[in-house]
Amino acid sequence: MNRRKFIQYSAGTCLALSSLRYAFAAVEEQRMRTGYISDKIYLQHHLAPDHPESPQRLIAVEKAMLDSGLLPQLEHLPLLTGVESYLYTIHTRQHVASIRNNYPGIHPVALAVVGGVLSAVDAVCQGRLRNAFCATRPPGHHADNTGREEGFCFYNAIAIAARYAQQKYKLEKILIIDWDYHHGNATEAAFYSDPGVLYFSTHDYLAYPGTGNPERKGEGAGLGYNINVHLDCDTTDTDIIHAFENRLVPAAKKFKPDMVLISAGFDSRVDDLLGCFNITDAGFEELTRIAMSLADEFCDGRIVSVLEGGYNVEGNASAVVHHVKTLLSFRA
């Protein structure tokens, strides 16, 4: 190779390498993005006139997200369809048949929540996105297999998502963080003897549904993988952050999750209609950062967060914006 050919060859190689670098950077930038699930179907169902679990909750979330300027920064994900078979990883045939027959208007909406959450799991587990938030309703973490609505819940999307990630993506260990004011009794029940799912819940043990005793730590192979933390009325940011730092972080570091799911209930926020905690938007930002630090340390930042409760319409919307803003921006 003469000198001129060598220079041409080198320049070509450099160009190819630099294009490759740009391509990798673009893929990495895409992977670091946050997904967002929202859909008009989630506005369809009404439990009763003036019920606190109302479509207004999500209408306010949509408006606050729009006003915040965050929406264009998010990757809007389509809902996954044909997901009914996944209900049975958590729910009994009798439960699903009973919901379909007794709540014909709600069954498709609750099923669409599962479709939204599983779509978010796909995007994150396939490495297309870093994390995702699902602005969905009805909530799910009280949906036990009773054949009825339980605590405004029908299908436990977060529990179904955990099983889906394990089965489809062969992820062994799922951490579920639940900061809703209420204890996620159905999530606890689904994984109570399962060492593959670490369930961590902060809640008011004295409130609905009366479960969540801190003495309940799992059973059999699942002993130690269920952590219930009772918090009193008037719990502050400092109190709940203390619980996360002292109870969640050491357990999660020992567990080393392959994925983090969040039951993001904002009825633990100050001025909620049903809750009595005083957690502020800054508090939820910090809880989000703690979850993200764990996800960054153990599982490439993989988080899917799903709305649960939150009944002060404006307060819930504000907390969602702060939570999603943190999911978008925080780097551990």
Tracing tokens 């949906």 back to the chain, one arrives at 143
45 backbone dihedrals φ, ψ, rounded to 5°: -100, 145
* CB closest to Zn ion, residue no: 309
Calculate the alpha carbon distances from 247 to 126, 183, 252, 304 in Å.
30, 16, 9, 21
Select from 128, 239, 260 the least CA-distant residue to 197. 260
Out of 212, 265, 283, 301, which residue is the one contacting Zn ion (CB under 5 A)? 265
Q: How far is the CB of 233 from Zn ion (least distance, A)?
A: 14
Please say which residue, 35 or 265, places its beta carbon nearer to Zn ion. 265
Site for Zn ion in 297-326 (CB under 5 A): 309
Contact between 267 and Zn ion by CB under 5 A: the answer reads yes
Size of the site for Zn ion (CB under 5 A): 6
Please say which residue, 171 or 313, places its beta carbon nearer to Zn ion. 313
Q: How far is the CB of 230 from Zn ion (least distance, A)?
A: 15
Q: How far is the CB of 254 from Zn ion (least distance, A)?
A: 28
Secondary structure (3-state) at 145: coil
Q: HSE (CB half, 13 Å, CA atoms) of 56? A: 13
- Specify whether the backbone of 300 is left (phi greater than 0), alpha (psi in -120 to 50) or beta: left
Contact code string over 222-261 relative to Zn ion, x by CB under 5 A: ----------------------------------------
Q: How far is the CB of 161 from Zn ion (least distance, A)?
A: 18
Q: How far is the CB of 180 from Zn ion (least distance, A)?
A: 4
According to DSSP, residue 42 is labeled G
Residues serving a catalytic function are 142
Out of 122, 144, 180, 239, which residue is the one contacting Zn ion (CB under 5 A)? 180
Please say which residue, 164 or 181, places its beta carbon nearer to Zn ion. 181
Please say which residue, 108 or 209, places its beta carbon nearer to Zn ion. 209
Site for Zn ion in 86-145 (CB under 5 A): none
Q: Are 224 and 218 in contact (CB under 8 A)?
A: yes
Please say which residue, 180 or 194, places its beta carbon nearer to Zn ion. 180
Calculate the alpha carbon distances from 161 to 39, 245, 306, 317 in Å.
18, 25, 10, 24
Kindly report the number of other CB atoms within 10 A of residue 56's CB atom. 15
Using CB under 5 A, list all residues that contact Zn ion: 180-182, 265, 267, 309
